[in-house]
A and B are shown apart, each in its own frame.
Chain A
Amino acid sequence: RKEVEQDPGPFNVPEGATVAFNCTYSNSASQSFFWYRQDCRKEPKLLMSVYSSGNEDGRFTAQLNRASQYISLLIRDSKLSDSATYLCVVNRPGANNLFFGTGTRLTVIP
């Protein structure tokens, strides 16, 4: 079983829509969770960390459900510039490296 699993999409949504991505992780001992954004042929960039209490940054909301071992990202009022691949990322317990999901491709359509 993969450490991190995501629906690869693609998700095609109209501008202004709300879209949600989920991912699941396999190791219950994981402690750090992140969402990264990756534009085509570019490097991944940290979008936001995910905390147990949930956190919000503008139009973006991240949630963590430890009991079910899943992480979600909600994007409200989608913009064309939100089109990218969103990577779910989980730390390897007891180590410093991170596990990345395969990413979910989002295209926001005018």
Chain B
Amino acid sequence: GAGVSQTPSNKVTEKGKYVELRCDPISGHTALYWYRQSLGQGPEFLIYFQGTGAADDSGLPNDRFFAVRPEGSVSTLKIQRTERGDSAMYLCASSREGTGYTFGSGTRLTVV
């Protein structure tokens, strides 16, 4: 597609539930990143994929968070047993080698 597509744009879930957030990167971009942004803060790195593999998952806050990119294109960020503190904007970005990021419009997650 023309840009990075993220779905859903908004997600409200109850505490303790499981959620999946989807990212469809720009065609041909091998690098894909997930970031989380809380109100009044800059985006914080979660995980980076190069192709199908997670090249760096050092930003995942705990083992409730997991992400996959099985065919090297679409990625899914999965959050188990959601907590109110997980409420944030989840941003996906993709890039080609040596270029800056292009972000999707994000998924606003609210855990109630």
| Tally of contact residues, B, Cβ under 8 A | 22
Binary interface profile of B, 87-112, with partner A (CB < 8 Å = 1, else 0)? 00001000000001111111000000
Give, as a whole number of angstroms, the nearest-CB distance from A93 to chain B: 13
Binary interface profile of B, 44-61, with partner A (CB < 8 Å = 1, else 0)? 110010100001100100
Among residues of A, the one whose C-beta sits closest to the C-beta of B91 is A43
Residues of A within 8 A of B103 (CB): 43-45
**Residues of B near any A CB (own CB < 8 A):** 31, 33, 35, 40-45, 48, 50, 55-56, 59, 91, 100-106
Instruction: List, sorted by A's number, 14 A–B pairs whose CB atoms are closer than 8 Å.
Output: A43-B103, A43-B104, A46-B100, A96-B33, A96-B56, A97-B33, A97-B45, A97-B48, A97-B56, A99-B45, A100-B43, A100-B44, A102-B40, A102-B42
What are the nearest 6 A-B pairs in CB distance? A100-B42, A43-B103, A97-B45, A46-B100, A100-B43, A102-B42
**Residues of A near any B CB (own CB < 8 A):** 4, 8, 34, 42-46, 49, 87, 92, 95-103
